[in-house]
Structure 1
Amino acid sequence: MVKLEHRIAILGGTFDPVHIGHLKLGQSALSILDPDIFFWIPAKRSPLKNKIYGSDFHRWCMLYECIKNEKRYILSDLELIRKEPSYTYLTLIDIKKKYSDSQLYFVMGLDTALSLPKWYKIDDILKICKFAVFKRNVGKDKSIEKLPERIFRNIDFFEVDIPDVSSNLIRKKIALNENLSEFLDPSTIEYIKRFNLYK
């Protein structure tokens, strides 16, 4: 198949820690969108989250170990080197300046998509990129109808089997010394144990 445009996929988040939901989301987007470049961008601090539990360094290292073997994945420090909070709008502006002729796709799950009306400069973001939203049972999820029409029009929905897991759930399991093999890449489990994180 011949691609008619240069495509860049972007997946942002706190990755605190990175888990199988993030990784499955990335793999699905890589396969379906078929981007030329896929940026993973850890946030210094999300404007919509009160606290980051892992340091920038540890979150970066755990994510690197999980994605290092995919040649189209690029781990970016765009938001880590910028003053907090991490605004997606500024990140997209930076990427668009460097790749002016590219179509940008911001990748996310439905839970993140539902927060889009609260994003900083969302109307300007809509002019810069499209949103690629991945979720199970897209057609049956009535929460989608809550999105304003101007945002909904800018979303491409894809139905995939993304595990229902959150970093918050994983941090709780770590504190309780529960088994994490179902939720984390083996490299992440080993890293968390080595540095005694999230205790």
Structure 2
Amino acid sequence: MTRTTPPESAPRRIGLMGGSFDPVHAAHVRLAEVALHTLALDEVRWIPVGQPWQKARQLASAEHRLAMVRLATAHEPRFVVDPIETLRSGPSYTLDTVRELQQADRATVPAQWFLIIGQDQYANLPTWHGWPELLERVTLAVACRGDAPPQTPAALQGVAHHCQTLPLPPMRVSSTDIRARLARGESPQSLGDAMASEAVARYIANHQLYAPGDHR
């Protein structure tokens, strides 16, 4: 009788989607959906930042931002919201998060990790804490708006790293613009397609987030 060796399990493909998500909006959701399908990911792990080291302004509380991301991602079972950075004290460095996730993952089936970022983050990546090690640990998945591929930052030219392009349709929406419009007294429901979902719009309205006299 011949004994056959069962095939090894293929590495899981995990996308990491970090950000302030203050608030999460439609372009965030669209980028995660594009990454999920373009890269054939098993999951996209959404990671709201705890204490952003490159932002001086005060964010909405972690509780509110986590709640909004959970509402925005409820339609897709392969979206997973991870509070890892909000539970860690001190500045939130992506490298620390990736190290922690990969260390925890060693006891399970190996995974291939994709860091989902926009072109602006790609350009700024050489300023990130521990970026050379980060590039050794993940494949970058960079959003490309329009037909032009992302431009490799000068500091990364000649540095070996894996990078894939995500074809993201043009979307003129940002958290900064949403906060500004809400601060002028516009209702979340009036922002239409800019919002991540109707549930997120209702949550912002119910908690009076970003409105004049913000009750965060």
**TM-score of the superposition, structure 2-length normalised?**
0.84
In the alignment, the residues of structure 2 paired with residue 140 and residue 29 of structure 1 have an alpha-carbon distance, to the nearest angstrom, of 16
Give the AA of the match of 2:135: L
Please show how residues 36-47 of structure 1 align to structure 2 within 5 Å.
36-47=42-53
The unaligned stretches of length 5 or more in structure 2 are 1-8, 212-216
- 2:187 is the counterpart of 1:175: no
Partner of residue 8 from structure 1, selected from 4, 10, 14: 14
| 1:136 aligned residue (120, 145, 155) | 145
* C-alpha distance in structure 1 between counterparts of 2:146 and 2:161, whole Å: 19
Corresponding residue for residue 24 of structure 1? 30
Query: Is 1:191 aligned with 2:199?
Result: no
CA-based RMSD: 1.9
Measured in 1, the distance between the counterparts of 2:58 and 2:36 equals 27
Q: Report what 1:156 is aligned to.
A: 164
Paired residue secondary structure (2:126): helix
SS state of the match for residue 141, structure 2?
strand
Change (3 A) 1:162 1:91: farther
Q: How many residues align?
A: 196
When residues 4 and 139 of structure 1 are mapped into structure 2, their CA distance, relative to the original with a 3 A threshold, is farther
**What is the deviation of 1:137?**
2.4
Give the aligned residue type for 2:180. Answer: K
| Equivalent position of 1:104 in the other structure | 113
State percent identity of aligned pairs.
28
C-alpha contact (below 8 Å) 1:7/1:104 kept by paired residues = yes
The answer (yes or no) to whether the contact 2:146–2:170 under 8 Å persists in 1 is: no
1:68-87 equivalences in 2 (<5 Å): 68-87=74-93
Deviations 1:146-191 (A, max 9, x none): 4521557432122220413211111001011233113102111111
C-alpha displacement at 1:53, in angstroms?
Answer: 2.6
Match of residue 123, structure 2, among 114, 127, 130:
114
Measured after TM superposition, the shift of residue 37 of structure 1 is 2.3
Write the distance in 1 (CA, Å) between the matches of 2:146 and 2:104: 36
TM-score for both structures, normalised by structure 1: 0.90
Alignment check: 8 A CA contact 2:24 2:69 kept: yes
Work out which of the residue numbers 50, 61, 73 in structure 2 matches 1:67: 73
Is this contact kept in 1: 2:46–2:80, CA < 8 A? yes
